[in-house]
Amino acid sequence: MKKPKLLWLQSITCNGNAHSFFNHPELFSILSHFELLYHPLLDTEYILEEVIKTQLACDVLILEGSFREKGMLKGGVELSTVVEVYAQKAKHIITAGTCATFGGVFKEADPKNITGFAFDIKEKTKRHELYFSKLISLPGCPIHPKWLSFVLLMLAKEKDIVLDDMFRPQELYGITVHTGCSRNEYFEWKVDTKGFGLKEGCLFYEQGCQGPHTRGSCNKILWNDASSKTIVGTPCFGCTEPDFPKTALYMTQTNMGIPTTMPLGVPKRAYLTATGIAKSFKIKRFEERIIKYDG
Amino acid sequence: MKIADKKALKRESIIQTALQLFSTNGFHRTTIPDIAKALKMSVGNLYNYFSSKDMLAKEIIKYTSEVLGNEIREVNGLEVSTEEKVKKIVTLYFRMAKEKPEMIEYFLRVYLSNREVFNDGCEGMICVSGFITEIMIFFDDGVESGALRNQDFFSAFGLFMGYLGGMVFLKGEEVLPNDIEFYVEDISRNIYNALKV
């Protein structure tokens, strides 16, 4: 079987998704399923000067970074025109990272003109209509290397990837970051953590954790195969969501003590009822340290 | 009428009669035989519905909390200003204190005054969550709309419900020179002024 031709193009980016992917323990094994035409940070078959001539064939196009229609030059050529040609040729377009998907951090520099490839935050861009049948969104800041390898290997094996209405693979984004968090018992009983980095307590009530309303599998597919932000005791920043980045990240936004954003899909009335009841009990185990060090 | 419906009706009539007696005569001075007598039913049959007086007391607080919560829920659903909602909540609370005084009296004179009865099974907000949840929604909507100042829930809750409870308590003590509804206008304004941005 002929290997699919893979092209990785960068727009306005910090390289974060590329570097994250490089941390994949099976990086070269995964890439071996493809003919890697070009990657800006790897020694590949072609160089940028050849890519921008837009003569190469392309099956899988990976896009990294936010977009602007004009003023983003690569090798003296307007990048948006290069991307347009390869997007038409490709069978699959993967937007890797929140910048390429929704606009992300770099959108902040020029909110009017900088967008994601097919979305401007939640709004569809003109490219949405042109390419919706081939889009796969992988938001994240950065993406987990195994989110990308999941998609690449599924494509290499010509398997269908079930996507949601924003083209995110449901396997990866059908759950919230809260799923699998080691602090779930504390969430259930509404016990907040007493500080960052502690093993005990939930970060949702005071410390700004966005895990319960952020789509992602950070606590199912662990980072470095070992941990996650919420497990080590720092809040989820909601980096996979269209409205990332947000501000005041280390503080839960509340109205009279009630979190302004509810866990995904949970009506406020249901949440408040359950919370009021759970908070009425003091569970000794959740008030104590997990490990009691001497002295 | 189905047997299950009949039983539900009977259960509610027991709750309402017990609520009346507890509020008027006090929790400790009211016995299960007193309640059974008022309902013209046997003591044994009453125990088929509620296994003890304490259990009945807990069901009553849940019942009153639900009734009051449902009324506030209707206010929460209205497309009116927060100021108007404050007035509507004060109005319904005082109207209830006047027309069904046992509902509020029960909360003030039985639930809050006999904590030992409610400690097991009605800890914290458990039995009053129907009411508390709606007050939380009211505050949340008020802040969201920009009308109310964002602050700790209990500082706002204490001001609002403590004030209303205090007035109903004074009414119960018969020390108010005027009918309680006379105070709706001023108290609503006081509460709104205290809570607004």
Query: Residue type for A281, please?
Result: F
* Residue A112: pLDDT over 80: yes
Cα–Cα distance measured from residue A82 to residue A256, given in angstroms and rounded to the nearest whole number = 51
Tens of pLDDT, residues A225-235: 999 999 999 99
* Residue A214: pLDDT over 90: yes
Using 70 as the pLDDT threshold, list the residues of chain B that sit under it: none
The pLDDT assigned to B115 comes to 84
Looking at the structure of chain B, the number of domains it has is 1
Write the CATH number for B125: 1.10.357.10
Instruction: Report yes or no on B1 lying in a domain.
Output: no
Structure tokens at B85: 């909602």
Domain A5-171 has CATH 3.40.50.700: yes
Query: Residue type for A209, please?
Result: C
Instruction: Report yes or no on B10 lying in a domain.
Output: no
Q: Are B89 and B72 in contact (CB under 8 A)?
A: yes
Window 217-276 of A, Cβ < 8 Å to B: 254-258, 260, 268-269, 272-273, 276
How confident is the prediction for chain A on average, in pLDDT? 95
The pLDDT assigned to B5 comes to 85
Structure tokens at A219: 């606590």
Instruction: Report yes or no on B70 lying in a domain.
Output: yes
- Is residue A248 left, alpha or beta, with left meaning phi > 0 and alpha meaning psi from -120 to 50? left
The pLDDT assigned to B119 comes to 84
Out of A258, A260, A277, closest to residue B136 by CB? A258
Q: How confident is the model at residue A295 (pLDDT cuts 50, 70, 90)?
A: low
CA of A204 vs chain B CAs: smallest distance (Å): 17
- Bridge-based pairing of strands A254-255 and A258-259 is antiparallel
Q: Where are the domains of chain A?
A: 5-171, 175-286
ipTM above 0.90, yes or no: no
CA nearest neighbour of A247 among A108, A142, A64, A101 = A108
Q: Do A277 and B129 touch (CB under 8 A)?
A: yes
CA of A188 vs chain B CAs: smallest distance (Å): 15
The pLDDT assigned to B123 comes to 85
Structure tokens at A151: 């998609």
Q: Please give the residue range of the domain that contains residue B110.
A: 55-195
Give first-to-last CA distance, chain B, whole Å: 53
DSSP state string for B30-85 = --HHHHHHHTT--HHHHHHH-SSHHHHHHHHHHHHHHHHHHHHHHHHTS-S-HHHH
Cα–Cα distance measured from residue A41 to residue A101, given in angstroms and rounded to the nearest whole number = 21
Q: Are B108 and B191 in contact (CB under 8 A)?
A: no
Q: Do A256 and B139 touch (CB under 8 A)?
A: yes
* Contacts of residue A254, Cβ cutoff 8 Å, sequence gap at least 6: A260, B150
Tens of pLDDT, residues A177-208: 999 999 999 999 999 998 888 999 999 999 99
Tens of pLDDT, residues B152-189: 999 999 999 999 999 998 998 899 999 999 999 999 99
* Contacts of residue B4, Cβ cutoff 8 Å, sequence gap at least 6: none
Out of A146-155, A271-280, B99-108, the most confident range is: A146-155
Instruction: Report yes or no on B102 lying in a domain.
Output: yes
Give first-to-last CA distance, chain A, whole Å: 65
In this structure, of A12-21, A102-111, B5-14, the range with the lowest mean pLDDT score is B5-14
Q: Which fold has domain A175-286?
A: Cytochrome-c3 Hydrogenase; Chain A, domain 2 (4.10.480)
pTM for this model (two decimals): 0.88
The pLDDT assigned to A260 comes to 94
CA nearest neighbour of A151 among A171, A130, A165, A131 = A171
Instruction: Report yes or no on B3 lying in a domain.
Output: no
Q: Do B137 and A277 touch (CB under 8 A)?
A: no
